[in-house]
Structure 1
Amino acid sequence: MTMRPGWSLISMLLGLAGPLAAQSGDWTTYGGNDWNQRYSTLKQISTGNVAQLVPRKIFQTGIARLGSFENTPIVQNGVMYVTTPYNTAMAYDLNTNKELWRYEHKLGTTIFCCGPNNRGVAIHAGAHVYMGTLDARLVALDAKSGEVLWDKEVADPAFGYSITHAPLVVGDNIIVGVSGGEYGIRGHVTAYNAGSGEQVWRWYSIPAPQGDPTFDEKAPNGWWGTWAPKAEDADLHRDIAKEKADSAKYADAWQRGGGGVWMTPAYDKESNTLYVAVGNPSPDLDGSVRPGDNLYTDAVVAIDATSGKTKWYYQTVPHDVWDLDAVSPPVVARLGNQKVVVHAGKTGWVYVLDAGTGKLVRKSTNFVPHENIFALPTPEGTRMLPGANGGAEWSPIAIDPNLNYAFVAALHQPMHYKVHSAPWEKGRLWLGSAFVAIPGEEQYGLYSAVDLRTGKIAWQNKVPQPMMGGALATAGGLTFTGEGNGNFNAYDSKSGKLLWQFNGGAGCNSAPMTFTHGGEQLVAVACGGNFQLSYPLGDAVIVFGLPKARK
């Protein structure tokens, strides 16, 4: 490949980026800033005028193949970048509202869980755009023309690997993880050189035993871990003696142990650390064929961004047999003088971890109902809350650093957990289980403000349907989120009072963002529904603002 001009200048410019990137008028990374806070210092739209918001622009992608439209647009230098569930990327000129270019990725083999989805792009200093694909490739595009610069296979899609999250730019590297924990993959996160597309390092979410070239010193016992009987103070009802007795029989289980990385990592420049959330082990509910803690599944892991080596890990659920894995993106924040990492779990708790050590600072009050927590699945079915979707599913949280509140979109779905044994087959769904919604029981969503200083729920709002999408917080005292029925809501961040609502005509099941254009603050959200939850599908990105002043 021929190196294109401008890479050295881009590298210099990237050195200026940091966790406060969202304080500018642009929104240049999936989580708003490197810390994934989804917080903006913009405050032109405030509690005093948000009731006046109106649609100012609507971008319809025109894509016939619909799916879970969970994209968060990226805005830089007057251009908005949008991706669709089946990997079409497009750029819109915010001055003319016209499409500048469109790239339609020609998908090869696709095997993926939970519906087609793509959450967005990464942008490298305004010049190059990167998109992961359902057939587990990473594509680099020219930001001005949409021309393909390079296209790399990250993993073999025939084994169930896919990419649904937005990549992350760290210096001259593009960071991307893989999904596929439902198919018996071995998950990983990889750094690629932004210019050449060559692999820089690869970190495996399933640590290998000693003697393997990919052995991880932070997991000296491989993925077996420490045989933890509890998740903090909660009994997991494990038969540790039987697991140890079976470990020789299943000595190679780590090779197909799962551990997808569903969502975009957070990055702390000061410590040069990536923070990733690792998904479920394989198979999901049948723990009999995978003895041990099954590291690093269901964990928040800190990784050195230069070497790709593990710094620490915190496992929320060792030996998970409920699919209550770690999927919502980690967020870096400050509580007083302490830097912390915050994760909203499918378990229904918010975990606050010391960013330097991974030690638990506090665990919140449960933000969804708990019942029969960690009761073991049975062939007949065990009733347990939360259901297998959580808690907090993929939905990113937002953190208001002034209130120290985390805003969490969550689900309440009573389920029966059923377990059965099934052999692994290449590219075949491998759950060893079924999660069955209980007929006639109410399902709903909860939008909560969790006080990170105390772990208590500051306020909570109930909505008619389980929530899948994400949150945004602003210095205007507002937090935004969407619902599956098409409602897009603005709440008072401090009190939780609903201040404004608009129905987008399809499920607003994406994480919103905000930016400025022409001196005005605007808020954008993709309203295209959710495949997994059967919410109404669509293809629109709606951009809201205050009414245009008449001249």
Structure 2
Amino acid sequence: MQKHKTLRYSAVAFAVAAALSGAPARADVTDADILNDAKTTGDVVSFGLGTQGQRYSPATQINTKTVKNLVPVWSMSFGGEKQRGQESQPVIHNGKMFVTASYSRLFAIDAKSGKKLWKYEHRLPDGIMPCCDVINRGAALYGNLVIFATLDAQLVALNQDTGKVVWKEKLDDYKAGYSATAAPIIAKGKLITGVSGGEFGVVGRIDARDPMTGKLLWTRPTVEGHMGYTFDKEGNKTENGISGTTNATWSGDLWQTGGAATWNGATYDPETNLIFAGTGNPAPWNSHLRPGDNLFSSSTVAIDADTGKIAWHYQNTPHDGWDFDGVNEFVSFDFKDPKTGKVVKAGGKADRNGFFFVNDRTNGKLLNVFPFVKKITWATGYDMATGRPLYTADGRPGDPNAGDGKKGNSVFSAPSFLGGKNQQQIAYSQQTGLFYVPANEWGMDIWNEPVSYKKGAAYLGAGFTIKALHDDYIGALRAVDPATGKIVWENKNYAPLWGGVLTTAGGLVFYGTPEGYLKGVDAKTGKELWSFQTGTGIVAPPVTWEQDGEQMIAVTTGWGGAVPLWGGDVAKRVNYLEQGGSVWVFKLHKS
């Protein structure tokens, strides 16, 4: 082949040159690839199968008639002694699968054969303080980079082909309780990340970075009273407005360690150019120490992707006293208002507090709200005019200072603080118009205690014991109608459901159970059509894509997460479940 002088190839020229040389063409992940992820079937380049988070695939090869023929193709173990919970969603591009694992590891795998191509193990320091297991939920793809967050609150970008570190940036100080577990997303060419650590008095926020360099573009705190900033190319920062109004809904100085961690990441809607972040509990849990609504905790916050400014917010649990958070994902969809018949740009959210919310995603207006669990004790519903909950009298844990100063009155509350739904992701079917929610039925005894902030120490001011509400089940996969609030069908499960959901145009819903089963059910009826025992609990969301003309299903397996650590009586009930750490891939058997 004739030699040429060095040229700066365009993507087309690179592909032509690679083809002529016999080398495989490298196709970088572009903004267009990410925007079209929900519509294309050849890869999965974003968390949520599209930044809107619907987890819906238009693929139909695996359907209600053929799913019975689904068989395993390969499985790859993460190996070693670093098992624990595996909550990662794989991303697949250019014949490679990228999947994160416990203890801040990342694997590149040949998507066709299951062969490990390379592995990156982040060196974690002593003294990290992850709240809820050493998990990681996945990576972002951009250009030729694969980017993920680590338990010591760093971001690492690796070359997709070699696994070599391209850049590394610090999110925050792990010694102050910061960590990171969520999968980043790409929104309009920006890398969007949150932070974990609400149980340690951190200050939640959403950051936007240049994905190719890791340099900050803007940062938006999600606790009222803190300043946002934008950054120029040299890293110089400019004030970008205070979040809310100082002391408007926080008395005193507790807002300075106010929590509202954005530990579950974000979604992005290109139609409105808004980033939607769920925010966690206010700190401390003892709500009597912080009178007021405590914005922007336990809320959905909509942030302009260009400016980093808050466009609107909706607080799901004002003055949260139960650790309900509001961090659950906000999933964009088109909602037909049953009252007016008009189609509204909306978002759906199954909140930890047990209620399902439908909000106008352009302005945050509450369109519908209904319970998706059977027992809720802290509120009887919501006032649609104000959007505020109707609190139950005496439903809040008591003030320690009203008694002996050591322990407030204990109350029984449902759901438990682990939530009607926690990190496990919902899915929305464009085919059925239903949301599929992995729900849990449990309650807790909870009481408040005195507490003061100390850097790096747990900042709760509460005690609790979680209890199952029923002998025969805790988890229930539920299909809910966002317009009527009706539970269309449910599949009960003995152990809590802690893994996400996938739905497809093949009329199917896939989800995993802690007992180790990956299941495929009819999206309209919930009838189980297929299952496979993976050998360890599933606490991660499945994905699907097409490879060499065949539709594939993949899921990460490995029991763990918050339930074994925080579950109280529930943890004892499921202590027979075994840990693990693998990726399983399936396709249809050819007869």
Fold conserved between structures, TM > 0.5? yes
Structure 1 window deviating more from structure 2 (456-465 vs 469-478): it is 456-465
Q: CA deviation at 1:441?
A: 5.9
SS in structure 1 opposite 2:255? helix
Tell me, yes or no, if structure 1 residue 468 matches structure 2 residue 495.
Answer: no
CA contact (8 A) 1:479 1:491 kept: yes
CA contact (8 A) 2:158 2:164 kept: yes
What is aligned with 1:136?
A: 153
Tell me, yes or no, if structure 1 residue 377 matches structure 2 residue 397.
Answer: yes
What is aligned with 1:522?
A: 552
What is aligned with 2:129?
A: 111
Indicate which of 440, 444, 450 corresponds to 1:411.
440
Alpha-carbon distance in structure 2 between the residues aligned to 1:314 and 1:393 = 18
Matches within 5 A, 1:279-294: 279-284=280-285, 286-294=286-294
What is aligned with 1:347?
A: 353
What is aligned with 2:530?
A: 500
Alpha-carbon distance in structure 1 between the residues aligned to 2:199 and 2:68 = 43
Indicate which of 204, 209, 220 corresponds to 2:245.
220
Q: CA deviation at 1:216?
A: 4.8
Matches within 5 A, 1:37-48: 37-48=54-65
Q: Over aligned residues, Cα RMSD in angstroms? A: 2.3
Structure 1 window deviating more from structure 2 (394-403 vs 359-368): it is 359-368
Amino acid at match of 1:278: T
Structure 1 222/354 Cα, relative in aligned 2: closer, same or farther at 3 Å?
Answer: farther
Deviations, residues 148-176 of structure 1 (Å, cap 9, x unaligned): 00110011110110110101112332111
Structure 1 90/223 Cα, relative in aligned 2: closer, same or farther at 3 Å?
Answer: farther
Structure 1 window deviating more from structure 2 (463-472 vs 528-537): it is 528-537
What is aligned with 2:367?
A: 361
Structure 1 44/412 Cα, relative in aligned 2: closer, same or farther at 3 Å?
Answer: same
SS in structure 1 opposite 2:521? strand
Structure 1: give runs of 5+ residues left out of the alignment.
Answer: 226-246
CA contact (8 A) 1:216 1:222 kept: no
Matches within 5 A, 1:433-512: 433-438=462-467, 442=471, 444-512=474-542
Matches within 5 A, 1:88-127: 88-108=105-125, 109-125=127-143, 127=144
Amino acid at match of 1:90: F
What is aligned with 1:532?
A: 562
Alpha-carbon distance in structure 2 between the residues aligned to 1:79 and 1:297 = 38
Alpha-carbon distance in structure 2 between the residues aligned to 1:312 and 1:216 = 14
What is aligned with 2:456?
A: 427
Matches within 5 A, 1:19-418: 20-108=37-125, 109-125=127-143, 127-208=144-225, 216=241, 219-220=244-245, 222=247, 224=249, 247=251, 251-284=252-285, 286-336=286-336, 337-371=343-377, 373=379, 375-378=395-398, 379-418=408-447
Give TM-score, length-normalised by structure 2. 0.84
Q: Which of the pair has more CA radius of gyration?
A: 2
Deviations, residues 324-343 of structure 1 (Å, cap 9, x unaligned): 11122111111243111111
CA contact (8 A) 2:503 2:509 kept: yes
Alpha-carbon distance in structure 2 between the residues aligned to 1:48 and 1:75 = 26
Structure 1 340/211 Cα, relative in aligned 2: closer, same or farther at 3 Å?
Answer: closer
Alpha-carbon distance in structure 1 between the residues aligned to 2:39 and 2:131 = 31
Alpha-carbon distance in structure 2 between the residues aligned to 1:394 and 1:65 = 21
Kindly report structure 1 stretches of 4+ aligned residues shifted beyond 6 Å: 5-12, 209-215
Give TM-score, length-normalised by structure 1. 0.90
Structure 1 window deviating more from structure 2 (204-213 vs 439-448): it is 204-213
Q: CA deviation at 1:319?
A: 0.5
CA contact (8 A) 2:177 2:197 kept: yes
Alpha-carbon distance in structure 2 between the residues aligned to 1:209 and 1:96 = 49
What is aligned with 1:237?
A: none
Amino acid at match of 1:206: V
Amino acid at match of 1:391: G
Q: CA deviation at 1:133?
A: 0.3
Alpha-carbon distance in structure 1 between the residues aligned to 2:63 and 2:306 = 40
Tell me, yes or no, if structure 1 residue 545 matches structure 2 residue 587.
Answer: yes
Q: CA deviation at 1:404?
A: 1.2
CA contact (8 A) 1:208 1:215 kept: no
CA contact (8 A) 1:531 1:537 kept: no
Percentage identity across paired residues of the two chains: 34
CA contact (8 A) 1:445 1:464 kept: yes
Structure 1 window deviating more from structure 2 (463-472 vs 312-321): it is 463-472
Deviations, residues 13-47 of structure 1 (Å, cap 9, x unaligned): 32454155353221111110011110000110001
CA contact (8 A) 1:486 1:505 kept: yes
Structure 2: give runs of 5+ residues left out of the alignment.
Answer: 1-7, 13-26, 230-237, 337-342, 380-391, 399-407, 565-576
Q: CA deviation at 1:458?
A: 1.2
Amino acid at match of 1:376: R
Structure 1 146/222 Cα, relative in aligned 2: closer, same or farther at 3 Å?
Answer: farther
